[in-house]
Structure 1
Amino acid sequence: MLETARKRAELRRQAGFWKGKFDWACACGDVRGCLLQEELKHDRFGIRLQEEEGRFKGVLDLGEQARRCSGFEIEAWVVVPWSQLRGDGEAAKWLEGVKLADRDITSRDPVQLYRPAPGVERYRCEKCGARILLVERKRPGVVKIAAGLLRSEDGARPEDWIAWELDADHEDADPGLVDELRNSLQSWNEAMKAAVQTQETK
């Protein structure tokens, strides 16, 4: 099954179905890779907020687990299909293991693992401590990558790839903060949508 998946991925790569890519890396650079954007407008996981624009869903998490694990009120993640996340070097090996859930993290891996709840895995760089991934096993087709890790080739953040929203789990968050974030995200998404449309007409 794994070999078949690899062959399909290679065929897709050779066929040129990728619209573009953004690199991602932690602060020290030990854990790095790239995120691929499909040329296709729809995917089978249904995770894009704006399918007609091909943007991924960015999630601001204000839940209790996010606060306790990060030490801050908000965590920012980008939800992507596993098929569009790549790792370089050692990161490629452990990403494959995490995706298939077929091995434990060892002392030779560049990351550390914490399980805050059953079926939830948080990975961070062993050296610099940067958050890398949030894996929820109840959603096997997708993974959350820390938004701050993404960088384009010219150093900009890939905001035109991401449509932001609040995570559903924010019941115990400050209501004023939730309202301000919701309004700001709506304005931000509209501005990004307009910017993308302007670029496409040039």
Structure 2
Amino acid sequence: MPPPSVVKSQSKLADSAAEKTILKASCLCGAPNHEVTLSTSDLPLKGYMCHCTSCRRMTGAQCLTVVFCPEYYQPAQSVLDKMTAYVFTKRITQYFCTTCGCQMLARCLEDGDDPNSTVTWDVATGTLERIEDIVDWQGHEHLQDTLDGGFADFLTEINGKKLERWPAHYGKHEQVPPGWTSTSRSEVEASPSDKLHCTCRCGGVEFYVTRPSARSALAEKYWPESPPLDISNEQLPPESETFYMRDNRTKFLAGLCSCNSCRLAAGVEITTWAFIPAFQITQDKEGKIPWSGDFGTLRKYESSPGCYRYFCSRCGAIVFYDADGREFLKDVAVGLVDAPEGSRAESWFGWRTRRLGYRDDDIPRAESFVLAIEKGLREWEASRPGADLSGGSRSGGAL
């Protein structure tokens, strides 16, 4: 995350005549909803997207999206009491909703070695009721952690403003261009692993995913029993019935979602999900302990009747989404994956680029951001000859 000094405001919120703006912030369950009262002169707030491995693991998303508030802002203790505090670093303590897992606030010390140094607060932008004309997006940082540019290649500019792209801390070293990849990435592509390791920031939730096979297309038929080893006599369903697979069924579908439920469950602007058959998710690398909604530090939250979201109760990372009647398939938060080729895990996932999931939910609050992502997705896809341009089915998942 950028240091507080990058965006530190010297203004003070006057008690009387100064014009004030009240920003409403909420999570999915609504328990710690609160208001952020600022001097209108301090708007727009500068927004940043952090792609470091720690932020991706802590949110379950491809990046953390935050704004930094002026020094005078201080959340009420009654609000913080409804959240779980997670010590992210010696300088930063994250606060997420204890009930639904939404990342909401962060307390930042100017000097992590001095507990009495200046304190400022970050607000997770996904919790804000509106960001249009409220947030002035600056750019991306810690892209070197992604190895492949990650989400930054889906969002290169907003309203014609080119977003900055920093390899490490904001403003440090030379920026990297769109399409950048790490030089170490090519070394691992030649020998892909047959297991994809996934973990949250604190390590309380850890699991593995196996690569797609012919069995993957039969997942629904054989749930909850394990698919047979010999499927030579089985007739595979048509592609339309296996919307969760891509590239001739060699990859799982992954995509971006901007629905209100996902946004308010995670606290970030955009969530990224991959559709994985449940039998291909195991708690151990050997594949002997099957998927379960109750392992490690997982906590389950029913976001609507028959729809369930899972998050780490210790660090707040979103982990899974599933629903009644679709038990054979789980949505896995892509920010948790540990793919050696990069954060987009392109040897595992075929990314849906034709549309942004549930865009109409987000247009009223973040139109410029949504339109910029859609433009970025089209441009990214156009830069990849032979990419799968099929739209995929919207049915059956959080996407």
Return the TM-score normalized by structure 2.
Answer: 0.37
Please list, as runs of the form range in 1=range in 2, the aligned pairs for 1:107-122 lying within 5 A after superposition.
Answer: 109-122=296-309
- 2:332 corresponds, among 132, 139, 145, to 145
Aligned to 1:21: 195
Q: 1:173 aligns with which of 362, 369, 377?
A: 362
1:156 aligns with 2:337: no
Q: Give me the identity figure in percent.
A: 22
Question: What amino acid is the match of 2:195?
Answer: K
Give per-residue Cα distances to partners, 1:177-196, cap 9 Å, x unaligned: 3343233234434556769x
The equivalent of 1:30 in structure 2 is 204
Name the SS of the counterpart of 2:347 in structure 1: helix
Take 2:273 and 2:291, find their aligned partners in 1: how far apart are those partners? 17
CA deviations 1:26-45 (Å, max 9, x no partner) are 11112111111134397136
Match of 1:57 among 240, 250, 253: 253
Unmatched tracts of structure 2, length 5 or more: 1-192, 221-241, 388-399
**Partner amino acid for 1:80?**
I
Q: Give every structure 1 segment of 4 or more consecutive aligned residues whose post-TM-superposition deviation is greater than 6 Å.
A: none
SS of match in other structure, 1:124: strand
1:103-139, Cα deviation, whole Å (9 max, x unpaired): xx5xx85211111101111111122211111112232
Q: Deviations over 1:62-121 (max 9, x none)?
A: 1111122122221111111111111139xx87933x3xxxxxx5xx85211111101111
1:9 aligns with: none
Which of 1 and 2 has higher RCO (CA within 8 Å, sep 6+)? 1
Distance across 1 between alignment mates of 2:265 and 2:250: 31
Matched, 1:132 2:319: yes
Structure number, greater radius of gyration: 2
1-structure distance, mates of 2:347, 2:383 = 10
2:380 to 147, 166, 188: 188
Distance 2:207 2:369 in 1: 33
- Relative distance call for 1:172 and 1:156 in structure 2 (3 A) is closer
**Contact map agreement 2:256 2:356 (CA 8 A) in 1:** yes
After superposition, the Cα gap between the structure-2 partners of 1:109 and 1:25, relative to the gap in structure 1 and judged at 3 Å, is: closer
Distance 1:94 1:128 in 2: 23
d(CA) in 2 for partners of 1:193 and 1:176? 28
d(CA) in 1 for partners of 2:324, 2:356:
17
